[in-house]
Amino acid sequence: MKVLFTGFEPFGGESTNPSAVAVEQICRLPPPAGVQWQALILPVEFRRSATLLQSSINSWQPDLVLCIGQAGGRPQISLEQVAINLLEARIPDNSGWQPSGEPIVATGPAAYFSTLPLKAIRQQLQQNGIPANISYTAGTYVCNALMYQMLHQLASMAGGRGGFIHIPYTPEQAAGKADAASMAVATVVTALTEIVRCCQQYSQDIAAVGGTLD
């Protein structure tokens, strides 16, 4: 199984982005048996991130695409369920572009759903002591746009699966932020390894209760 990880460059005034650090670290480790993996670090730019990922998918033909981004306000690993066809940028991306109310793909569907076994992944991470849950919004910034475009591309390919994972601040980032939760990069790397193993094991998700009340 060929696994493509993506992470992002820093944005929003941060000097580092742990998504990039984590995917670079995991790809320096020996992969599980039967797995090849590689990392792609993307700019926090709507247009260029999508173009670079599309090119990498076309050239390497991965079986699994795991896009990683940071959502500093979240206390746990967020397994994103859905990407919506909307560009709504509260702040400009790193190229200075700030779209508002535009579709990501003009003729695309309203949303795409992750093709990962999210409930199985959540169960595996929680059993390993890693805080994780399924999220029903990936936001409306570059992370959501990348997830949507990745799934739009994979939908036209045979057999490719993909999804997006948001991670919290690192302890170093959280140290200067009141009440901010954090997670060590080493824990994120362990989580990503378990996610790959789950995707090897489960072609279909498990039956389990999910959802939210808000």
- Rg for the chain, CA atoms, rounded: 16
Amino acid 30: pLDDT: 97
Average pLDDT on 162-179 reads: 92
| Residue 190 near residue 130, CB atoms below 8 Å | yes
- Rounded CA gap, 179 and 87, in Å? 29
Angle between helices 142-154 and 46-60 (to 10 degrees): 30
- Rounded CA gap, 173 and 127, in Å? 26
Please tell me what DSSP assigns to residue 38. E
pLDDT, tens digit (0-9, with 9 covering 90-100), for 37-73: 999 999 999 999 999 999 999 999 999 999 999 998 8
| Nearest one of 189, 187, 205 to 31, comparing CA atoms | 189
- Rounded CA gap, 86 and 147, in Å? 12
> Is it the case that residue 213 has pLDDT exceeding 80?
no
Amino acid 212: pLDDT: 86
Bridge-partner residues for 167, per DSSP?
70
Topology annotation, domain 2-201 = Aminopeptidase (3.40.630)
Q: What's this model's pTM, rounded to 2 decimal places?
A: 0.96
Amino acid 12: pLDDT: 81
Helix then strand count (H, E) for the chain reads: 6, 10
Q: Where are the domains of the chain?
A: 2-201
| Nearest one of 169, 172, 162, 158 to 195, comparing CA atoms | 162
pLDDT, tens digit (0-9, with 9 covering 90-100), for 104-161: 999 999 999 999 999 999 999 999 999 999 999 999 999 999 999 999 999 998 889 9
Average pLDDT, the chain: 96
Q: Specify the residue for token string 């490719």.
A: 160
Q: Give catalytic residue positions.
A: 80, 143, 166
CB within 8 A of 15, min separation 6: which ones? none
